[in-house]
Structures are given as structure tokens and as C-alpha cells.
Amino acid sequence: MAENDSRLTIETSDDITLVGFLDRNILEEATIQHIGDQISDIIDATPNPRILINFDNVDHLSSAALGMLITINNKVRHKSGQLRLANINTQIYEVFAITKLNKLFQIHSDAEKAMQSFK
């Protein structure tokens, strides 16, 4: 995948990096790898990363995407940062609940609540 072929939207607000997905389906391994690399670059470039990943419009994801999110979470924690997930639809949330990853991630119903939760 080309370096500039981003599948993410990335904005910054109040020192918080807001990440969104362009695709409804986060399934393909190359895409997941690329997304993980992009977010890792943000983490690497920030002393105490505060990242909000917005799942608005995401309909499907695979266990590889969950793995990518876990890796991101581990990296953020390693740098004493904070990661929040928001706007996860009911079916996707069920995947987090079944895998018990809802215990690992801080998940909020919408982006505003997630923004307010940063310390």
C-alpha cells in the first residue's frame, strides 16, 4: 500500500489526536497493517499520546483489526498515554464484549464523552 494511501482521517484537538476510518470494513490485512503503522507513527512522535479512535460508520472488523488495536493500546500505555474508543455500533461492540476486550479498552458511546474522559 502506498505511503500516502491513508485509510484514516486524522485531526488534532486540544492535544488529542482524533482518528477516524474511511472504510466501513476493516478486514484486509494490508489495510490493517497500514492503519496500525500510521497510528504507531503518531504514538512514536508524541511524548504522552492521547488518542481517540472513532468507529463511526465502521460495520465490520476482523480479529486482525482487534490485534492491531491491542498493539496500539500497548504502545500508548508504554508511553503513559491514553487511548479511547468511541461510536462503536452494537454489533461491533458485541465482538469486543465476546472477546472481553471491552475490559481492556476504554469505550465510550460517542466522541464527546470520550473527549471529556481524557485526564
Partner 1 sequence: MEQSHTRKPWIIPNLLAQGVKVVKTVIEQMEPLGYSQTAQFAVRLALDEAMANAIRHGNNNDPTKHVTIEYHITEEQLQISICDEGDGFKPEQVPDPTLDENLERPCGRGVMLMNAYMTKVTFNDKGNCVTMIKRKDCPLPYVSEED
Question: Interface with partner 1 includes 94 (CB under 8 A)?
Answer: yes
How far apart CA 33 and CA 102 sit, in angstroms, is 22
Site string for partner 1, 23-42 (x = CB under 8 A): ----xxxx------------
Q: Give the residue, chosen from 2, 5, 47, 98, that forms a contact with partner 1 under the rule CB under 8 A.
A: 98
Question: Interface with partner 1 includes 73 (CB under 8 A)?
Answer: yes
Question: Interface with partner 1 includes 71 (CB under 8 A)?
Answer: yes
Q: Give the residue, chosen from 33, 67, 78, 110, that forms a contact with partner 1 under the rule CB under 8 A.
A: 67
In this structure, what C-alpha cell is assigned to residue 74? 500497548
Q: Please list the residues that pair with 19 across neighbouring strands.
A: 10, 53
Across 1-94, the runs of DSSP E, i.e. the strands, are 8-13, 16-21, 25-26, 50-54, 60-61, 82-86
